[in-house]
Amino acid sequence: MTKIGEKSKAMYNEIDLDRIDLNVEPPTEEPARQYYFMAKCREWVRAFEQKNGRRPTASIQTFGCQMNARDSEKLAGILARIGFISQDHEEADLVLYNTCTVRDNANQRVYGRLGYVHSLKKKNPSMLIGLCGCMMQEETVIRKLKESYRFVDLVFGTHNIYKLAELLYARLSGGAPVFDIEKESTRIVETLPVTRQYPYKSGVNIMYGCNNFCSYCIVPYVRGRERSRRPEEILDEIRRLTDDGVVEVMLLGQNVNSYGKTLTEPISFAALLQQVEQIEAVKRIRFMTSHPKDLSDELIETMACSQKICRHLHLPLQSGSSRILTCMNRCYDKEQYLALAEKIRRRIPDISLTTDIIVGFPGETEEDFQETLDVVRRVRYESAFTFLYSKRTGTPAAAMDRQVPKEVAQDRFDRLLSLVQQISRESCCRDTGRVMEALVEGTDSQQEGFVTGRLGNNIMVHFPGPADLVGRIVPVRLLESRGFYYIGRMEEQ
């Protein structure tokens, strides 16, 4: 659930909705056009309020990765400006699903939710149901929605989320369901409202899309070609975020290591990191995701010398077999990956390495799988996300023969998971006894009087402390490892 946030702050030089003349034609330029439609929708909200004696509620349900989470914050910002009140469950006047389609189960979950929300709409026919995000970029999905899910009011894709107010207004004023999908986008609309989920940390998009076309992956088809934001826009956004209380930023992109290469004034990702580091109020920097093929020595050096970049690197492996890696179009082999991991560990000994692994890619044999286990044993990941290969229509891998039988893939998956977990447990106790800095992210729901903090290496620590520590970075002695997290004690500052 993404909070819509009643107190969304006007932090993006936003346009004052009261000063927009609604008697003229909508502006053609962005973002002015969207502010015009926000004001239009707000008139509808006011009429709703007069009629019902309350403001309308909206619920955003987010699936998928950090990019989608960040997009949802933008959607929430727009809805808050319009006047919707945030609702954490789906019994709302407007329910918006921000979807993911990276694996079929993400896709199926959305259809499941649609079944549920349809039953709610039968009880409350004026309810509005919207769908957006990656799944909507697939033609088969759109066809299915038009044929079998006619109760859906609003559908848009990944390239036009900035248009939410305009599309919502079209539905509110026109009656017919709105479908608005753009196949490709080169534009990046800046300075729209955003409601952040956490006051103290935020994702920041540095680029959109992906050009890598790993053979199993649907992301390049649904997110479009790679586009980098200009460094000034990124740094400005980060400065505004810190003015608003943010101490930790996570720079987001499908492959941050290729950031900036296509800008008119090219800049490397490492150089961008160095500039972010200069912003005094930024205390911690993270980024996601790094493709091994583009990880530069300059980046390793920048991380090693940095006071602020967290000692955590997510370095997706996908497979340990060089043969499978070629079929996956990953552009590195087992030896190159191992050499890279070793180089990083040597230069930054306290780094935490995490990864993504797919099992059951078409043609994967037991020998290939053993190569994957071998890499896991040698790199000793602090943690790993493991996925069963999921066939995505339209990707080259979907047409490959020798798809691995489900039971075989599941058996490999179970063996991989148990190895990953065993190593994870062993490596988590590595820092027991040390004092490390933790960003306090919330009170501990399991233990009264405890708070939960995140260490730079992404591991959590629970320790006694008051709720007003939330959002602060404090030193914590790690007293005891509990497998995947620590129990600690705050040290004197």
Q: Smallest distance from the beta carbon of 217 to ligand SF4, in angstroms?
A: 3
Size of residue set near ligand SF4 by CB under 6 A: 10
**348 near ligand SF4, rule: CB under 6 A:** no
User: Would you state the torsion angle of the CA atoms of residues 145, 148, 153, 154, taken in this order, to the nearest 10 degrees?
Assistant: 0
With contacts defined by CB under 6 A, name the span among 107-115, 211-219, 227-235, 321-329 that binds ligand SAH.
211-219
For residue 427, give the nearest of 358, 485, 368, 345 by alpha carbon. Answer: 485
Q: Smallest distance from the beta carbon of 469 to ligand SAH, in angstroms?
A: 33
Q: Which does 213 bind (CB under 5 to 8 A by kind): ligand SF4, ligand SAH, ligand F3S, none?
A: ligand SF4
Residues in Cβ contact with 107 at an 8 Å cutoff, skipping those fewer than 6 apart: 99, 100, 101, 135, 141
Q: Which does 196 bind (CB under 5 to 8 A by kind): ligand SF4, ligand F3S, ligand SAH, none?
A: none
Q: Which residues of 434-444 are buried (b: 16+ CB within 10 A; e: fewer)?
A: eebbbbbbebb
User: How many helices (H) and strands (E) would you count in the chain?
Assistant: 13, 19
The residues in 156-215 that bind ligand SF4, with binding defined as CB under 6 A, are: 210, 212-214
**102 near ligand SAH, rule: CB under 6 A:** yes
The amino acid present at 465, given as its one-letter code, is G
Nearest CB to ligand F3S, comparing residues 252 and 470:
252
CB 264 within 8 A of CB 251: no
Query: What is the rounded end-to-end Cα distance, in angstroms, of the chain?
Result: 35
**220 near ligand SF4, rule: CB under 6 A:** yes
- Taking the C-alpha atoms of residue 325 and residue 219, their distance in angstroms, rounded to an integer, is 18
**358 near ligand SAH, rule: CB under 6 A:** yes
**424 near ligand SAH, rule: CB under 6 A:** no
Which residue in 40, 74, 103, 196 binds ligand SAH (CB under 6 A)? 103
Q: Smallest distance from the beta carbon of 64 to ligand F3S, in angstroms?
A: 3
Binding site for ligand F3S (CB under 6 A): 64-65, 67-68, 100-102, 134, 219, 222-223
Beta carbons within 10 angstroms of residue 426's beta carbon = 13
Calculate Rg over the CA atoms of the chain.
Answer: 23
Q: Smallest distance from the beta carbon of 158 to ligand F3S, in angstroms?
A: 7
DSSP per-residue letters across 21-73: -TTSPPPSSTTHHHHHHHHHHHHHHHHHHHHHSS--EEEEEE-SSHHHHHHHH
393-432 mask for ligand SF4 (x: CB under 6 A)?
----------------------------------------
Which residue in 202, 318, 321, 481 binds ligand SAH (CB under 6 A)? 318
**392 near ligand SAH, rule: CB under 6 A:** yes
Q: Which two tokens stand for residue 217?
A: 């992956």
**384 near ligand SF4, rule: CB under 6 A:** no
Q: Smallest distance from the beta carbon of 219 to ligand SF4, in angstroms?
A: 4
Q: Which does 101 bind (CB under 5 to 8 A by kind): ligand SAH, ligand SF4, ligand F3S, none?
A: ligand F3S
Nearest CB to ligand SAH, comparing residues 331 and 435:
331
Do strands 128-133 and 94-99 pair parallel, antiparallel, or not at all (unpaired)?
Answer: parallel
Q: Which does 67 bind (CB under 5 to 8 A by kind): ligand SF4, ligand F3S, ligand SAH, none?
A: ligand F3S
DSSP per-residue letters across 182-222: -S-------------S-SSEEEEE-EE------TT--HHHH
Nearest CB to ligand SAH, comparing residues 42 and 103:
103
For residue 255, give the nearest of 285, 221, 220, 231 by alpha carbon. Answer: 220
Give the full edge-to-edge strand order of the sheet including 201-205. Answer: 201-205, 248-252, 284-288
- Taking the C-alpha atoms of residue 436 and residue 430, their distance in angstroms, rounded to an integer, is 12
**316 near ligand SAH, rule: CB under 6 A:** yes
What residues line the site for ligand SF4 (CB under 6 A)? 210, 212-214, 217, 219-220, 254-255, 291
**Which residues make up the interface to ligand SAH (CB under 6 A)?**
102-103, 216-217, 219, 254-255, 289, 291, 316, 318, 356, 358, 387, 389-390, 392
